[in-house]
A and B are shown apart, each in its own frame.
Chain A
Amino acid sequence: MPPDFISNLYVFILAGFVGFEVIRRVSPLLHTPLMSLTNALDAIVVVAAIIIAGRHETRLTTTLGAIAVAASFSNMVGGFLITDRMLRMFKSRGSKKS
C-alpha cells in the first residue's frame, strides 16, 4: 500500500468527521442551500481538471480535461450564485415575534 494512500486516508477520515459535526448543526431550514453550497465546494475538482487540461499530454487527455474544467467550473459559479440568492431570501421578522 503506497504511503500516500495512508496519509490520504487519514485526511479523508478526519475531514469526514469534521464534516459530520459541522453539517449536523446546519438548521433544517437551510438544507437546500446546504446542498447547493456543498456542490459548489465539491466543484473544487476544477483544480485537477485545470492541471489535466493544461498539461501537455495527448489530445484525448486535453479534451477530457477541458470538458471537466467547463463542467466543474459551471458548478462552482452556479452553485455559489444560487446559494447566495437563496440565503438572501431568508429574512427574519425581527422583534415582531408572538
Chain B
Amino acid sequence: MTELALQQYLDFAYIIAVILFILSLKFLSSPVSARWGVLAGEIGAALAVAVTLFNPEVTQYKWILITLIIGAGVGVPLGMVHMTTVPQRTALSHAFGALSAAIIGIAEFYVGTTPTRFQMGEIALEVIIGSLTFTGSLIAAGKLQEILPQRPIVYRGQNIVSLSVLAGALGLATALVVNPANTLLFPIMVTVALLFGIMLVTPIGGADMPTVISLLNSYAGVSAALLGFVLNSKVLVVAGALDGSSGFILSVIMCKAMNRSFTNVMFGAFGQVQAAAAAAQEERTVRSASPEEAAGILAAASRVVVVPGYGMAVAQAQHKVRELYDVLSKKGIDVRFAIHPVAGRMPGHMNVLLAEADIPYDRLIEMDEINGEFAQTDVALIIGANDVTNPAARTDKSSPIYGMPILDVDKARTVMVIKRSMNPGFAGIDNPLYYMDRTLMLFGDAKAVVNGLVHELSANSH
C-alpha cells in the first residue's frame, strides 16, 4: 500500500520532469530565452534523478554514488572543452548516450527470468540500435578529431558487405525472438551490431558529417525511447522521442541543404565520382591579390558579406575575423555573415564559432535570407568555404553537387576567396567561382590572411 503511494509520487515527479523537458526545448526558439531552457532542463533532470534514488527497487547505493561522481568527473571536463572541438564532443556524447541505452538493454536481458517473445523483440531492437550508434558515433568522433582520416574509406562491394552484416544482426534478433532461451546468440548479436556501426560510418567523408551527426543523434534518441518501451518507463519514451525527432529534423535540414537523400549520404560514398571530373579540367587563369590590394577594395566597400566555412574553423581564424569585423564596422561598412546550413562539421557550427568570437548574432544571416542581397553586396569574402559557394550547383548539370542550394556569392560585385591553394577540397569538385573576372584569390592560411587584412585596414585609417 505505502509502496504503491510512493510509486505514484515518483510517477508524478517524472511527469513534472517531462513538462520541464518540453519547455526546455521551447525556450530554445529564441536566443533571448534560450538560457532559461537550460535551467528548465536542469531542474527536470535533477528532479528525475533525485526521486529515482527513492525508488523502492534501489537498495544499494554504493555503486550509484561512486558512478555518479565518476560521471560528474568526466562530464565537467567534457562540458568545458574548447568551442572548436564541439563537433567531436557532440559525436562522443552520442556515443555515451547510446552506450548507456545499449548496456541497460543488455542488463535487462540478463535480469531474472527469460523474456517473453515480445519483450525479446523490444530488447533486441533496442540493443542493436544502441550498439551500432555507439560504435558509429565513436568513428564519427575519431574522424572529427582527425585520429581517423576524414576522407571516405571505401572498397568494392562495401554496401553489400555492410548490409549483410546488418541483416546478420537482424537475423540473430529474429532467432532470439523465436527462442528467447537461446542466450548464447545474444552476445553474438551485440557484437555484430557493434561491427555494423563501424562499417556504417567509416565510408562517410568529413563534409557529410553534419548529416551523420544528426542521424546518430536521432538514433541515440530512438534507442532511449525503445529502452523506455523495454522498461515501461514513460519518461524515457518522451525524452527519447524528443531527442529522436530533433535529430531527425536536423538530418532532414542537412540533407535538403545538400540536395541529397539519406540513402545517398549513408551509402553514396561522396567523393569518388567527382575526382575524375576534376582531373579533366583544363588549366584556367585565376587572379590573385595581395592583402594590400584586397584591403583597399574592402575599405572602399559599403556592404561586405563574409562567408565562413570549415577552413575558418580549422585555422581557428574566428577571433581574427572578429577583428576584421570591428575594423570594417568602425569605417561605417555594413558587415554581415552568410551562414550555409551545412557549413562546417555539424548543424550550427559556424554560428557557435562566430558567437564565441563575440560577433553579435543578429549579424549572422541564414542562406535564404541573405541570398537575395548578394547583388547589392560590394564584397563577398569567402573564408575557408568551398562547395557551398560553387555556382556549378546552379548551372552545371554534370556537377555532382548540381541542385544543391548555395550561397549566391558570384552575384556580388567583387568576390574574395581566402584559400590555401588551388587544390580542390577532398570532395574534389572544381569551383568555377575561382575563375571569374570579379574574383580575387587570397592565397594562404585563413588566420594569416585575415590578420594581414586587419593590419592593412588599421594602417590605412591613420
Question: A interface vs B, CB < 8 Å?
Answer: 1-2, 4-5, 8-9, 11-12, 15-16, 18-20, 22-58, 60-62, 64-93, 97-98
> For chain B residues 85-127, which have a beta carbon within 8 Å of chain A?
86, 89-90, 93-94, 96-97, 99-101, 103-104, 106-108, 110-112, 118, 122
> For chain B residues 10-42, which have a beta carbon within 8 Å of chain A?
17, 21-22, 24-26, 28-32, 34-35, 37-38, 41-42
Asked whether B155 is an interface residue with its Cβ less than 8 Å from the other chain, the reply is no
Contact A44–B48 (Cβ < 8 Å)? yes
Contact A55–B58 (Cβ < 8 Å)? yes
The interface residues of chain A lying within 8 Å CB-to-CB of B243 are 19, 38-39, 41-42
Contact B100–A49 (Cβ < 8 Å)? yes
The interface residues of chain B lying within 8 Å CB-to-CB of A29 are 31, 339, 348, 351, 361, 364, 366
Partner of B25 from A1, A5, A38 at Cβ < 8 Å: A38
Contact B237–A19 (Cβ < 8 Å)? no
- State whether A92 and B31 are in contact (beta carbons under 8 Å apart), knowing that A1-B118, A66-B66, A80-B45 are contacts in the complex: yes
- Cross-chain pair count, CB within 8 angstroms: 374
Contact B25–A37 (Cβ < 8 Å)? yes
Contact A90–B31 (Cβ < 8 Å)? yes
Contact A50–B58 (Cβ < 8 Å)? yes
Contact A26–B110 (Cβ < 8 Å)? no
> How many of chain B's residues have a CB under 8 angstroms from any CB in A?
115
The interface residues of chain B lying within 8 Å CB-to-CB of A93 are 360, 362-363
- State whether A80 and B79 are in contact (beta carbons under 8 Å apart), knowing that A26-B29, A54-B60 are contacts in the complex: yes
- State whether A68 and B104 are in contact (beta carbons under 8 Å apart), knowing that A54-B63, A74-B74 are contacts in the complex: yes
- State whether A56 and B59 are in contact (beta carbons under 8 Å apart), knowing that A27-B30, A68-B103, A77-B75 are contacts in the complex: yes
- For the complex, give the distance between the alpha carbons of A91 and B243 in Å: 26
- For the complex, give the distance between the alpha carbons of A85 and B366 in Å: 23
- For the complex, give the distance between the alpha carbons of A58 and B284 in Å: 71
Asked whether B200 is an interface residue with its Cβ less than 8 Å from the other chain, the reply is no
Which residue on chain A has the smallest CB distance to residue B66? A66
Contact A80–B355 (Cβ < 8 Å)? no
Contact A23–B34 (Cβ < 8 Å)? no
Secondary structure type dominating chain B contacts: helix
> For chain B residues 204-230, which have a beta carbon within 8 Å of chain A?
213-214, 217, 220-221, 224-225, 227-229
Question: B interface vs A, CB < 8 Å?
Answer: 17, 21-22, 24-26, 28-32, 34-35, 37-38, 41-42, 44-45, 48-49, 52-53, 55, 57-61, 63-64, 66-68, 70-81, 83, 86, 89-90, 93-94, 96-97, 99-101, 103-104, 106-108, 110-112, 118, 122, 213-214, 217, 220-221, 224-225, 227-229, 231-247, 249-250, 253, 334, 339, 341, 346-349, 351-352, 355-356, 358, 360-364, 366
Contact B348–A28 (Cβ < 8 Å)? yes
Contact B28–A37 (Cβ < 8 Å)? yes
Q: In the complex, what's the smallest C-beta–C-beta distance from A48 to chain B, in angstroms? A: 5
Secondary structure type dominating chain A contacts: helix
The interface residues of chain A lying within 8 Å CB-to-CB of B232 are 4, 8
- For the complex, give the distance between the alpha carbons of A32 and B91 in Å: 12
Contact B86–A45 (Cβ < 8 Å)? no
The interface residues of chain B lying within 8 Å CB-to-CB of A11 are 234, 237-238, 241
- State whether A35 and B250 are in contact (beta carbons under 8 Å apart), knowing that A29-B351, A79-B79, A84-B38 are contacts in the complex: yes
Q: In the complex, what's the smallest C-beta–C-beta distance from A96 to chain B, in angstroms? A: 8
Contact A5–B118 (Cβ < 8 Å)? yes
**In the complex, which of the residues A25, A47, A66 has the most CB atoms of chain B within 10 Å of its own CB atom?**
A47
- State whether A42 and B34 are in contact (beta carbons under 8 Å apart), knowing that A55-B58, A73-B75 are contacts in the complex: no
Q: In the complex, what's the smallest C-beta–C-beta distance from B129 to chain A, in angstroms? A: 13
Partner of A70 from B22, B74, B97 at Cβ < 8 Å: B74
Contact B221–A36 (Cβ < 8 Å)? no
For this complex, 17 residue pairs linking A to B, each with C-beta atoms less than 8 Å apart, are A12-B228, A28-B339, A28-B347, A30-B31, A34-B25, A42-B221, A50-B53, A54-B55, A54-B61, A55-B60, A64-B107, A68-B99, A71-B97, A77-B75, A82-B89, A89-B83, A89-B352
Q: In the complex, what's the smallest C-beta–C-beta distance from B330 to chain A, in angstroms? A: 12
Partner of B75 from A28, A81, A92 at Cβ < 8 Å: A81
The 4 A-B pairs at the shortest CB distance, nearest first, are namely: A81-B79, A73-B71, A77-B75, A31-B348
- For the complex, give the distance between the alpha carbons of A92 and B162 in Å: 47
Contact A33–B346 (Cβ < 8 Å)? no
The interface residues of chain A lying within 8 Å CB-to-CB of B364 are 29
The interface residues of chain A lying within 8 Å CB-to-CB of B346 are 31-32, 35
**7 more A-B residue pairs beyond the given contacts A41-B24, A48-B233, A68-B99, with a C-beta to C-beta distance below 8 A:** A1-B118, A12-B228, A15-B238, A45-B239, A55-B59, A70-B71, A78-B79
- For the complex, give the distance between the alpha carbons of A78 and B220 in Å: 16
Contact A22–B79 (Cβ < 8 Å)? no
- For the complex, give the distance between the alpha carbons of A69 and B349 in Å: 29
- For the complex, give the distance between the alpha carbons of A20 and B364 in Å: 25
